């Protein structure tokens, strides 16, 4: 096992006016809320979107844990292109009145097509539609290199950074 240092960056918006949306998606792209989101499909999205970015927090979850989590204050949105799953985002409401963009990403086949700008813009619009006091998220140096620049271009501001160690096989 090798250990590396990872930098996590927290970002937020405090007003809907902070959003600098990207252009619209291609006409063959569609975005819709999955109400409810099937636990096994959520797991599929988490695994496949997060595989190359070392998302591992939920890999050991059981069906029961996924079901319990998804019964909470989250909404999962699916992006499809020509009917194929292309990416997703998860919005999670918190007791402090904020909404977190808890997970966000594209399946590998759809990276590099400009869909991330559109998907993030829509995630933030849907988050603000819930009436929060702020919208926030975090990213880290394990995420796609375009993640942090995309967040900043859409209007998020850094609020804090931290470092931690993680291990890889």
User: 68-111, pLDDT tens digit by residue?
Assistant: 999 999 999 999 999 999 999 999 999 999 999 999 999 999 99
Q: What is the CA radius of gyration of the chain?
A: 16
Q: Is residue 168 part of a domain?
A: no
Best CA proximity match to 104, nearest among 59, 49, 38, 51: 49
> Across all residues in the chain, what is the average pLDDT?
95
Q: Is residue 29 part of a domain?
A: yes
Q: Is residue 166 part of a domain?
A: no
Q: Total domain count for the chain?
A: 1
Q: Which domain holds residue 38?
A: 2-159
Q: Is residue 69 part of a domain?
A: yes
- pLDDT for the residue numbered 54: 87
Q: How many residues are given for the chain?
A: 169
The domain that holds 11 is classified in CATH as 3.40.630.30
Q: What does the buried/exposed string (b/e) look like for 123-138 if buried means 16 or more CB atoms within 10 Å of the residue's CB?
A: bbebbbeeebebbbbb
Q: Which two tokens stand for residue 58?
A: 């939920």
Q: Is residue 169 part of a domain?
A: no
**Is residue 13 very low, low, confident or very high in pLDDT (cuts 50, 70, 90)?**
very high
Q: Is residue 167 part of a domain?
A: no
On the question of pLDDT at 63 being above 90, the answer is yes
């Amino acid at each position: 096992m090798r250990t590396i240092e990872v930098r996590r960056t927290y970002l937020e918006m405090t007003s809907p006016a902070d959003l600098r949306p990207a252009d619209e998606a291609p006409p063959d792209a569609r975005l819709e809320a999955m109400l409810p989101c099937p636990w096994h499909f959520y797991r599929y999205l988490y695994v496949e979107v997060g595989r190359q970015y070392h998302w591992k927090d939920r890999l050991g979850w059981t069906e029961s844990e996924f079901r319990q989590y998804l019964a909470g204050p989250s909404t999962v949105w699916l992006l499809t292109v020509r009917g194929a799953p292309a990416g997703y985002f998860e919005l999670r409401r918190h007791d402090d009145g904020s909404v977190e963009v808890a997970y966000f990403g594209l399946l590998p086949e759809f990276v590099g097509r400009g869909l991330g700008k559109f998907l993030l813009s829509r995630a933030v619009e849907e988050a603000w539609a819930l009436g929060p006091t702020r919208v926030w998220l975090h990213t880290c140096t394990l995420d796609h290199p375009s993640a942090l620049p995309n967040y900043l271009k859409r209007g998020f501001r850094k609020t804090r950074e931290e470092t931690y160690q993680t291990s890889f096989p």
